[in-house]
Amino acid sequence: MDNEKKIPYKIYLEESEMPQSWYNVRADMKNKPAPLLNPGTHQPMTAEELSGVFCDELVQQELDNDTPFIPIPQEIRDFYKMYRPSPLVRAYCLEEKLQTPAKIYYKFEGNNTSGSHKLNSAIAQAYYAKKQGLKGVTTETGAGQWGTALSMACSYLGLDCKVYMVKVSYEQKPFRREVMRTYGASVVPSPSDTTQIGRKILAEHPGTTGSLGCAISEAVEVAVSNPGYRYVLGSVLNQVLLHQSVIGLETKAALDKYGIKPDMIIGCAGGGSNLGGLIAPFMGEKLRGEANYRIIAVEPASCPSFTRGVYAYDFCDTGMVCPLAKMYTLGCDFIPAPNHAGGLRYHGMSPVLSQLYDDGLMEAVSVPQTAVFEAAEQFARVEGILPAPESSHAIRVAIDEALKCKETGEEKTIVFGLTGTGYFDMVAYEKYHDGKMDDYIPTDEELQKYRAKLPKMD
Ligand SMILES: *Cc1c(COP(=O)(O)O)cnc(C)c1O
| DSSP secondary structure letters along 307-352 | HH-EEEEEESSTTS-SPEEEEEES-TT----TT--S----SS--HH
For residues 275 and 369, membership in a common domain is answered with yes
Residue 184 Cα to ligand 1 middle (Å):
23
Residue 418 Cα to ligand 1 middle (Å):
10
Atom of ligand 1 nearest to the CA of 234: 7
- Give backbone dihedrals phi and psi of 70, rounded to 5 degrees, phi first: -120, 115
C-alpha to C-alpha distance for 201 and 198, rounded to whole angstroms: 5
Residue 450 Cα to ligand 1 middle (Å):
24
Contact 270 CB / ligand 1 (< 6 Å): yes
Report the pLDDT value the prediction gives residue 330, as an integer from 0 to 100: 96
Contact 389 CB / ligand 1 (< 6 Å): no
Residue 180 in any domain: the answer is yes
Residue 2 Cα to ligand 1 middle (Å):
37
Residue 133 in any domain: the answer is yes
For residues 55 and 129, membership in a common domain is answered with yes
Pairing of β 103-108 and β 88-90? antiparallel
For residues 260 and 297, membership in a common domain is answered with yes
Distance of CA 114 to the CA centre of its chain: 14
- Give backbone dihedrals phi and psi of 234, rounded to 5 degrees, phi first: -95, 0
Kindly report each contact of residues 195-204 with a partner whose C-beta sits within 8 Å and lies 24 or more positions away, as own/partner: 195/221, 195/222, 196/221, 197/221, 197/319, 197/321, 201/318, 201/319
For residues 85 and 160, membership in a common domain is answered with no
For residues 9 and 38, membership in a common domain is answered with no
Residue 457 in any domain: the answer is no
Residue 237 in any domain: the answer is no
Annotate 74-88 with DSSP letters as a single string. HHHHHHHHHH-SPPE
Residue 9 in any domain: the answer is yes
Report the pLDDT value the prediction gives residue 173, as an integer from 0 to 100: 87
For residues 182 and 198, membership in a common domain is answered with yes
Contact 273 CB / ligand 1 (< 6 Å): yes
Chosen domain end from 210, 231, 252: 231
Chosen domain end from 175, 197, 231: 231
- Answer for the pair 335, 211: CB distance below 8 angstroms, yes or no: yes
For residues 220 and 261, membership in a common domain is answered with no
Closest to 30 measured CA to CA, from 289, 219, 379? 289
Residue 456 in any domain: the answer is no
pLDDT tens string for the chain (458 positions)? 445 558 999 999 999 999 999 999 999 999 999 999 999 999 999 999 999 999 999 999 999 999 999 999 999 999 999 999 999 999 999 999 999 999 999 999 999 999 999 999 999 999 999 999 999 999 999 889 999 999 999 999 999 999 999 998 899 889 999 999 999 999 999 999 999 999 999 999 998 888 888 899 999 999 999 999 999 999 999 999 999 999 999 999 999 999 999 999 999 999 999 999 999 999 999 999 999 999 999 999 999 999 999 999 999 887 788 899 999 999 998 988 888 888 898 899 999 999 999 999 999 999 999 999 999 999 999 999 999 999 999 999 999 999 999 999 999 999 999 999 999 999 999 999 999 999 999 999 999 999 998 999 87
For residues 158 and 177, membership in a common domain is answered with yes
User: For residue 333, how many other CB atoms are within 10 A of its CB?
Assistant: 14
Report the pLDDT value the prediction gives residue 190, as an integer from 0 to 100: 96
* Sign of the alpha-carbon torsion through 409, 99, 418, 248: negative
Going by C-beta distance under 8 Å and a sequence separation of 6 or more, which residues neighbour residue 189? Answer: 165, 166, 167, 170, 171, 210
Residue 392 Cα to ligand 1 middle (Å):
11
**Protein residue whose Cα sits closest to atom 2 of ligand 1:** 390
169, 233, 274, 424, best to mutate for ligand 1 pocket (most atoms within 8 Å of CB):
274
For residues 249 and 170, membership in a common domain is answered with no
For residues 336 and 423, membership in a common domain is answered with yes
User: For residue 114, how many other CB atoms are within 10 A of its CB?
Assistant: 28
Chosen domain end from 209, 231, 253: 231
Annotate 140-206 with DSSP letters as a single string. EESSSHHHHHHHHHHHHHT-EEEEEEEHHHHHH-HHHHHHHHHTT-EEEEES-TTSHHHHHHHHHST
Question: What is the chain's alpha carbon radius of gyration, rounded to the nearest angstrom?
Answer: 21
For residues 313 and 339, membership in a common domain is answered with yes
For residue 265, the cross-strand partners are: 295, 415
Atom of ligand 1 nearest to the CA of 115: 13
- Answer for the pair 367, 302: CB distance below 8 angstroms, yes or no: no
**Protein residue whose Cα sits closest to atom 5 of ligand 1:** 270
User: For residue 324, how many other CB atoms are within 10 A of its CB?
Assistant: 24
Written as one letter, the residue type at 187 is: V
For residue 190, the cross-strand partners are: 166
Residue 205 in any domain: the answer is yes
Report the pLDDT value the prediction gives residue 4, as an integer from 0 to 100: 54
C-alpha to C-alpha distance for 169 and 249, rounded to whole angstroms: 33
Atom of ligand 1 nearest to the CA of 420: 13
For residues 188 and 301, membership in a common domain is answered with no
Domain extent, residue 164, equals 32-68+118-231
Q: Looking at the 3D structure of the chain, how many domains does it have?
A: 2
Report the pLDDT value the prediction gives residue 1, as an integer from 0 to 100: 45
* Domain of residue 336, CATH code: 3.40.50.1100
111, 113, 114, 118, best to mutate for ligand 1 pocket (most atoms within 8 Å of CB):
118
User: For residue 28, how many other CB atoms are within 10 A of its CB?
Assistant: 16
Contact 344 CB / ligand 1 (< 6 Å): yes
User: For residue 118, how many other CB atoms are within 10 A of its CB?
Assistant: 29
Residue 202 in any domain: the answer is yes
116, 247, 416, best to mutate for ligand 1 pocket (most atoms within 8 Å of CB):
116
- Answer for the pair 328, 371: CB distance below 8 angstroms, yes or no: no
**Protein residue whose Cα sits closest to atom 14 of ligand 1:** 116
- Answer for the pair 444, 305: CB distance below 8 angstroms, yes or no: no
Residue 453 Cα to ligand 1 middle (Å):
26
- Give backbone dihedrals phi and psi of 449, rounded to 5 degrees, phi first: -60, -45
- Give backbone dihedrals phi and psi of 455, rounded to 5 degrees, phi first: -60, 145
pTM of the predicted model as reported, rounded to 2 decimal places: 0.97
C-alpha to C-alpha distance for 176 and 379, rounded to whole angstroms: 24
> b/e string for 76-94 if b means 16 or more Cβ within 10 A?
bbebbeebbbbbbbbbebb
Written as one letter, the residue type at 252 is: K
Distance of CA 29 to the CA centre of its chain: 21
